[in-house]
Amino acid sequence: MNLDAELDVWRRQWQSGTTIPLDLRKRVERRSRWMKIGLIADILVTVVMGGGSTVWALRSWQPDTVLLSAAIWLFLAAAWTIVFTFSRGSWSPSAVDTAAFVDLSIRRCRGTLAAIRFAAGLFLCEIAFSLGWIHHYSPEGRKPIWTWLFFSSLRIDIIWLATLAFFGFLIWYRRSQRAELAYLVNLGQSVGTD
Amino acid sequence: MDRAALERHFDGVLAAHGPALSRLAGSYTNTPSDRDDLLQEIAIAIWQALPRFRGDCSERTFLFRIAHNRGIAYLARSRSQMPGLAEEIEVHDPAPDPESELAQEQSTARLRRAIHRLPVAYRQVVTLTLEGLGYGEIAEVLGISESNVGVRLSRARQILRESLEDRR
């Protein structure tokens, strides 16, 4: 083996022991933890909302509760579709190196941004259905629609407040994800990915 | 450069050179936790020095010079020039398909141990060479002449070759 070839072999071996920057590794691990927590939360919501509404519908066996239960299951199915679609391939890096970790983080960010858009649409559908359902089946619904919609009862007020809080959170989260994506794309260019 | 730009620059520098700096830190330390501690020190030193970087040399030379200075300071502090626990030296992170890379891992581990056993002056020259620096850059990083780099590298390679042969 000539001297340069020997050095080349050593160089490849030396550099094959690539370690991932601590900050990036922690970022990916933190996100993985949150994804698992999110999955558990989704399962809990499915069990509580889906199961609860089903039990209620079976006990009362009234058209309103049956409709509510069916709609809840429909929304849950839509929510799970979003979860599966946008988290596919985002659970673990394709390799244990810096480029793969950056690539995974970028995919997660893009998936989250797309999921935020769909979540906002789904939430609007849920709110529309909830308001329609309450208006149709509760005595409060006999008031004129515009009077009823705004500040006619505590339940409606809570729905509006929840909507405001949810969209406030979505806007903030979207902004933070976009900033993170910009940072990661920049990082990706530094390490030669994306 | 404002703070936000400096932070972005710092993040970019660590992303681009982090693995090399980690390997250099590993060449001065005996355990993964010591390596991470030294890497942290190096990162802090880079953060403090980065605003003063005026482009007199390449950024890589600048970073490696800081890394080696911190490495030397670490050795002076810990008085651990001789690695005692070769089996604790972390070789690298686990690969997705460990079986297929076993042979590669073993020879890599042998090389790392052999480098780790070199005297510091030789170890520095070898690690910088293996990171792809030329004689001129190494001379700048270590503050020695290019001919001295050549002499040290030649001796280091001889020792490495013998060490790797012995352990085959």
Spatial neighbors of B167 by CB under 8 A, at least 6 apart, are B110, B114
Chain B, 89 to 108: residues with Cβ < 8 Å from chain A are 91-96, 104, 107-108
B6 and B80, same domain (yes or no): yes
Number of inter-chain CB pairs under 8 A, A vs B: 88
Chain A: residue whose CA lies nearest to B101: A16
CATH code, B72? 1.10.1740.10
Backbone angle region of B119, left / alpha / beta, with phi > 0 → left and psi within -120 to 50 → alpha: beta
A2 pLDDT tier (thresholds 50, 70, 90): low
Which residues in B lie closer than 8 A to residue A102 (C-beta atoms)? 15
Chain B partners within 8 Å of A96 (Cβ): 93-96
Determine whether the interchain pair A14/B108 forms a contact, defined as Cβ–Cβ distance below 8 Å. yes
Query: Per the CB < 8 Å rule, is B19 touching A94?
Result: no
pLDDT at position A97, please?
67
pLDDT value for A108: 93
Query: Is residue B92, in this structure, part of any structural domain at all?
Result: no
Q: How many distinct structural domains can be found in chain B?
A: 2
Whether residue B91 lies inside any domain: the answer is no
Residues B1 and B67 reside in one and the same domain? yes
Residue B67 inside a domain? The answer is yes
Are B41 and B115 found together in one domain? no
In a domain, B35, yes or no: yes
Q: Please report the DSSP string for A122-168 in residue order.
A: HHHHHHHHHHHHHHHHSGGGGS-HHHHHTTSSHHHHHHHHHHHHHHH
The verdict on B111 and B60 lying in the same domain is no
Q: Do both B74 and B44 map to the same domain?
A: yes
Instruction: Tell me: do B81 and B3 sit in the same domain.
Output: yes
Do B168 and B136 belong to one domain? Answer: yes
Of B92, B96, B129, the CB nearest to A16: B92
Task: Quote the pLDDT of residue A189.
Answer: 75
Is the CB of B14 less than 8 angstroms away from the CB of A186? Answer: no
- Check whether residue B110 and residue B135 sit in a common domain: yes
- Residue A142 buriedness (CB in 10 A; 0-12 / 13-18 / 19+): exposed
What are the average pLDDT values for consecutive 10-residue runs of chain B, which has 168 residues?
79 83 84 82 88 83 89 77 40 44 66 87 91 90 91 92 79
Which of A10, A180, A184, A194 to mutate to probe the B interface, most B CBs <10 Å?
A10
A23–B16 C-beta distance less than 8 A: no
Q: Is A41 exposed, middle or buried (0-12, 13-18, 19+ CB in 10 A)?
A: exposed
**Residue B90 domain-assigned?**
no
The mean predicted confidence, pLDDT, of chain B is: 79
Residues B110 and B81 placed together within one structural domain of the fold: no
Question: Would you state the pLDDT for residue B82?
Answer: 44
- Of all residues in chain A, the one with the smallest CA distance to B130 is A11
ipTM score of complex: 0.71
Residue A141: Cβ within 10 Å count: 16
Q: Is residue B150 domain-resident?
A: yes
- The 10 Å Cβ neighbour count of residue A139 is 7
The answer on B132 and B52 residing in a single domain is: no
Nearest C-alpha of chain B: how many angstroms from A20? 6
* CATH, residue B163: 1.10.10.10
Candidates B9, B10, B14, B159: best to mutate against A (most CBs of A within 10 A) is B14
Q: Render pLDDT for A26-68 as a digit per residue (tens, 0 to 9).
A: 788 889 999 999 999 999 999 999 999 999 999 999 999 999 9
**Is this structure's pTM higher than 0.80?**
no
Per-residue confidence (pLDDT) for residue B90, from 0 to 100? 40
Q: Does A169 touch chain B (CB under 8 A)?
A: no
Check CB contact of B130 with chain A, cutoff 8 Å: yes
Containing structural domain, residue B140: 97-168
Q: What is the pLDDT of residue A193?
A: 53
Whether residues B106 and B60 share a domain: the answer is no
Of B16, B39, B112, the CB nearest to A190: B16
Nearest C-alpha neighbor of A170 from the set A109, A117, A108: A117
Structure tokens at A146: 């515009």
Please tell me whether residues B5 and B80 are part of one structural domain. Answer: yes
What is residue A49's predicted lDDT score, i.e. its pLDDT? 95
Compute how many other C-beta atoms are within 10 angstroms of the C-beta atom of residue A159. 17
